[in-house]
């Protein structure tokens, strides 16, 4: 019996030693006994809490200011709501001075508007251990102590700050300047649309290349070749693609009048569907719904270079007499334009991508530069209301030029005018109003 007891004791000792030894081996570093000096032990109330301004609610901003000597420490933030606690952030660098407690896509049930929250900070020299993290969120623990420690290091605990509530704003004042200018710009637009409605004569200057549309379609028809219209690799949510679709409407109408075929290889299925609608409408308007063929507006693939390869192949085999490249183009611009040139087609290109414009200028017969492309549909169908919107754009250009010149002159005068100055003027104006 005694013998057994001794054996049991020895084996227990062994297990303990073993456990101890393993523990030592797993522990990467020893605690630094000098890590926390007596004058830094008391942290006090270091967290400054505030609702994140101008957001949709559900966000608290936590700021802190620490003595430089603590900047290399890790900070862990714990949030308390009633008795439930949550780790908001751990292992942050104290020198980052700020963290936001917000809802994310993965965790939507985080901060609720109108609830009172309290926050506590925990400072440590080394990364916080899981053991301590579990301890911190434990319901029964009261974080009223100044320090806690595990086997390796001492943790400093701040006083609890709070309460703070999150709230949602109904207006974002940071966007006030944009708001005011939006109103001014909308006003200018509506004014000019009204002018147009009242029959004011509006002019649009010649846009090189658009006069050639008729010629390009006509020549293709004579040669018995189809027209190809390439909308680039944008989506229907991109304005250049929408602009390209509006030009397609005008071109397709001419095509229908000439009773020719128009091929529209598309990159995006939604663009394809919309292009089908556009072409169908144009053919109907021209009185030729009978020659509209849905299959001529086809989908290629949603892969930039797969699309380029497919369109290139189609160009080489169908040999269109005129190629239109209108929309959003990236690196594939020149691949398409060079192939189009090699088959001898008249090419009319247009895009808003400044990096691609030089390639179009080099390889195509006509190129619509940026805004010219946006205005092209108006040019091709000189509807008074549309002309009104173009005139409004011009007025805004004048305003921008004036602002730049004023800014420059004031700059010379040494006032150092920047956009903040305008912000101030806007704010002042609003207060007066």
Partner 1 sequence: MAISTNIWIWIAALLTLAIYSFLYKDNPFYKFAEYLLVGISIGYGVSIYWHNTIITKVYNPLVHEKDFLVIIPLILGLLMFSRFFKSYSHLSRMPIAFIVGAGTGLSIPSSFEFLFKQVQGTMPASLDVGNLIIIVGVITTLVYFFFSMEHKGFVGKVSRIGITFIMIAFGAAFGYTIMARISLLIGRIQFLLSDWLGIIK
Partner 2 sequence: MLKGKNIPLAITFIVGIIMIVSFFIPHRPFGDIEQISLRWYSIIAGFTMVLGVDSLLGLHFRKIKRKEENWIHSIFLIAGFVMVFIAGVWGTIQYGSAFDERSFFTYIYNYFIVPLQATMFSLLAFFVASASYRAFRARNRDAALLLITAVIVMLGRVPIGEVISPYLPKFTDWIMEVPQMAAKRGIGLGIALGSLGVAIRIILGIERSYLS
Partner 3 sequence: MKFVNFINKLDKRWIYLLIALVVIIPFVFPVGCPMKITPPVQSIYNYIEDSIPENGVLLLGVDYDPSTMAELHPMAKALTYHAFYNNVRVLFVTMFPQGSGMGQDIINRTLEHWNSINPDMPKELGKDITLLAYVPGFSAVILKMGENIPATFNEDAYGNKLDNLSVMEGIKTYDDIDYMVEFSGSSVVLSWLIYANGRYNLKMGIGTTAVSAAEYYNYLQSGQANGLLGGLKGAAEYEKLLTNKHDFSGRNDASVGMDAQSAAHILFILLIILGNITFFIKKHQEGK
Q: By CB under 8 A, name the binding residues for partner 1.
A: 177-178, 181-182, 185, 202-205, 207, 235-239, 242, 270, 273-274, 277, 300-303, 305-306, 309-310, 312-313, 316-317, 354-355, 357-359, 361-362, 369-372, 375, 387, 390-391, 393-394, 397, 400-401, 403-405, 407-408, 411-412, 417-419
**Cα distances (Å, whole numbers) of residue 331 to 297, 300, 321, 408:** 23, 17, 24, 37
Residues in the chain: 433
Distance, in Å, from the CA atom of 274 to the CA atom of 240, rounded to the nearest integer, reads 14
Q: Residue 418 CB: number of other CB atoms within 10 A?
A: 11
Instruction: Tell me: cis bond preceding 163? Omega within 30 of 0 counts.
Output: yes
DSSP code per residue over 227-250: EEEEEET--TTSHHHHHHHHHHHH
Residue 405 interacting entry, from partner 3, partner 2, partner 1, none, C-beta within 5 to 8 Å by type: partner 1
Identify whether the C-beta of residue 203 lies closer than 8 Å to the C-beta of residue 195.
no
Q: Which is nearer to partner 3, 89 or 385 (CB)?
A: 89
Q: Which is nearer to partner 1, 365 or 393 (CB)?
A: 393
Half-sphere exposure of 321 (CA within 13 A, CB side): 19
Site track for partner 3 across 309-348, x = CB under 8 A: ---------------------------------x------
Identify whether the C-beta of residue 86 lies closer than 8 Å to the C-beta of residue 74.
no
Q: Which is nearer to partner 1, 13 or 182 (CB)?
A: 182
Closest CA to 208 of 367, 361, 382, 325: 367
**Cα distances (Å, whole numbers) of residue 382 to 63, 129, 202, 377:** 58, 72, 9, 8
| Minimum CB distance to partner 1, residue 321 (Å) | 18
Q: Which is nearer to partner 2, 77 or 275 (CB)?
A: 275
Q: Which is nearer to partner 2, 221 or 377 (CB)?
A: 377
Residue 171 interacting entry, from partner 2, partner 1, partner 3, none, C-beta within 5 to 8 Å by type: partner 2
Judged by CB under 8 A, does residue 72 bind partner 3? Answer: yes
Judged by CB under 8 A, does residue 93 bind partner 3? Answer: yes
Judged by CB under 8 A, does residue 29 bind partner 3? Answer: yes
| Minimum CB distance to partner 3, residue 25 (Å) | 10
Distance, in Å, from the CA atom of 88 to the CA atom of 128, rounded to the nearest integer, reads 13
| Minimum CB distance to partner 3, residue 153 (Å) | 12
Number of residues that bind partner 3 (CB under 8 A): 9
Residue 72 interacting entry, from partner 2, partner 1, partner 3, none, C-beta within 5 to 8 Å by type: partner 3
Per-residue HEC secondary structure of 80-103 comes to: EECCEEEEEEEEEEHHHCEEEEEC
Residue 337 interacting entry, from partner 1, partner 2, partner 3, none, C-beta within 5 to 8 Å by type: partner 2
* Contacts to partner 3 by CB under 8 A: 28-29, 72, 91, 93, 95, 126-127, 342
């Amino acid at each position: 019996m005694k013998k057994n007891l001794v054996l049991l004791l020895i084996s227990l000792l062994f297990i303990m030693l073993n456990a101890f030894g393993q523990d030592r081996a797993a522990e990467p570093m020893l605690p630094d006994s000098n890590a926390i000096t007596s004058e830094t032990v008391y942290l006090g109330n270091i967290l400054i809490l505030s609702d994140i301004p101008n957001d949709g609610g559900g966000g608290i901003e936590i700021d802190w200011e620490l003595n430089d000597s603590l900047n290399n420490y890790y900070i862990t933030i714990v949030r308390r709501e009633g008795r439930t606690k949550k780790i908001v952030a751990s292992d942050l660098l104290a020198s980052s001075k700020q963290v936001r407690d917000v809802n994310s896509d993965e965790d939507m049930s985080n901060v609720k508007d109108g609830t009172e929250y309290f926050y506590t900070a925990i400072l440590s020299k080394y990364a916080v251990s899981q053991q301590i993290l579990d301890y911190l969120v434990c319901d029964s623990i009261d974080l009223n102590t100044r320090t806690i420690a595990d086997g390796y290091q001492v943790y400093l605990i701040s006083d609890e700050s709070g309460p703070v509530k999150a709230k949602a704003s109904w207006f974002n004042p940071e966007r006030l300047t944009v708001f005011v200018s939006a109103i001014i710009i909308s006003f200018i637009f509506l004014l000019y649309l009204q002018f147009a409605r009242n029959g004011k004569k509006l002019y649009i200057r010649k846009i090189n290349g658009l006069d050639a549309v008729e010629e390009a379609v006509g020549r293709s028809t004579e040669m018995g070749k189809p027209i190809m219209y390439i909308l680039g690799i944008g989506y229907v949510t991109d304005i250049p693609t929408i602009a390209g679709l509006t030009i397609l409407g005008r071109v397709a109408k001419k095509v229908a009048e000439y009773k020719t075929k128009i091929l529209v290889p598309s990159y995006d299925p939604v663009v394809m569907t919309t292009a089908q609608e556009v072409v169908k409408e144009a053919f109907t308007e021209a009185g030729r719904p009978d020659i509209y063929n849905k299959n001529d507006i086809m989908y290629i693939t949603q892969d930039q270079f797969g699309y380029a390869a497919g369109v290139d192949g189609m160009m080489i085999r169908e040999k269109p007499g005129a190629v239109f490249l209108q929309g959003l183009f990236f690196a594939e611009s020149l691949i398409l334009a060079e192939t189009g040139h090699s088959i001898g087609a008249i090419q009319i290109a247009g895009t808003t991508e400044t990096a691609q414009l030089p390639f179009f200028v080099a390889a195509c017969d006509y190129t619509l530069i940026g805004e010219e492309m946006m205005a092209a549909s108006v040019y091709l169908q000189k509807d008074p209301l549309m002309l009104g919107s173009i005139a409004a754009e011009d007025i805004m250009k004048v305003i921008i030029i004036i602002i730049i010149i004023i800014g420059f002159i004031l700059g010379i005068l040494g006032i150092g005018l920047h956009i903040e100055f305008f912000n101030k003027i806007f704010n002042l104006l609003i207060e007066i109003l």
